[in-house]
Amino acid sequence: MSLAREKERLIQELKAIGAIRSKPVEEAFRRVARELFLPEHLRMYAYMDTPLPIGSGQTISAPHMVCLMNEELRLEVGHKVLEVGAGSGYHACTIAEIVAPIDIDRSLWGHVWTLEIVEELADYARCNVEKAGYRDRVTVVHGDGSRGLPEYAPFDRILVTAAAPDIPHPLIEQLKPGGILLVPVGRPYSTQILVKVEKKADGRITRKNLLDVIFVPLRGEYGW
Ligand code: SAH
């Protein structure tokens, strides 16, 4: 089967299991070529719903996790988004499709900053982002994302794609009122809980446990 057909089949599957629930998340998944973010010998598996190795002991997240997180983030055109854990750069580009769609005026575009602690992966992600055509909408930064990115804060949305011992407080501080933060919390190499933090308009913080997940460990100052 061609990758295009496999992708359409996977989209139907992701809708059936409830990982895709809205048109923008579906279209973003359709538009970003996941194969471009994989090492060459793994490209044929691009549309299997599984994480895959990308080097340095790290993985690109499974499609259902990317879509599910994008749904929970309630992304909107114009949002400023911070991702901690660029990995391949794939997830950041699916977000850029929603916050900065190519067919609207650039002045309305949001932006995605994605942080990666492993230098080789930051280079890999940057290269993938360029190849896939997102260089104006996604900025890859090499550094410890557990401290956030104060230079560009505050953000409308923040997501962490590695498991933290607890919610890193700089990320809560760098969230705008009305903002949403998603972060997997729990021990490395076991199941963790995906936590959704919302900062209400009055600055009040709410915390909700969404579901069990498995992510690679978050490193750095507020990591393991
Ligand atoms: N979102 C990625 C997959 C993330 S895997 C994708 O779309 O492909 C998690 C990544 O987080 C790994 O690449 C790991 O090196 C990185 N990471 C771990 N701790 C980090 C930290 N403190 N700051 C930035 N990146 C970190």
**Positive/negative CA dihedral, 113, 115, 120, 124:** negative
Tell me, in angstroms, the distance from the centre of ligand 1 to residue 1's CA. 31
Q: Distance between CA atoms of 198 and 182, rounded to whole angstroms?
A: 9
Residue nearest to atom 16 of ligand 1 (CA): 85
Structural domains of the chain, with CATH = 3-213 (3.40.50.150)
Q: Tell me the whole-structure pTM to 2 decimals.
A: 0.98
Among all chains, which residue has been given the structure tokens 């409830």? 18
Q: Distance between CA atoms of 161 and 61, rounded to whole angstroms?
A: 8
56 is catalytic: no
CB of 116 closer than 6 A to ligand 1? Answer: yes
CB of 138 closer than 6 A to ligand 1? Answer: no
Exactly one of 56, 61, 146, 190 is catalytic; which is it? 61
Q: pLDDT tens digits, the chain, 224 residues: what are they?
A: 899 999 999 999 999 999 999 999 999 999 999 999 999 999 999 999 999 999 999 999 999 999 999 999 999 999 999 999 999 999 999 999 999 999 999 999 999 999 999 999 999 999 999 999 999 999 999 999 999 999 999 999 999 999 999 999 999 999 999 999 999 999 998 999 999 999 999 999 999 999 999 999 999 999 99
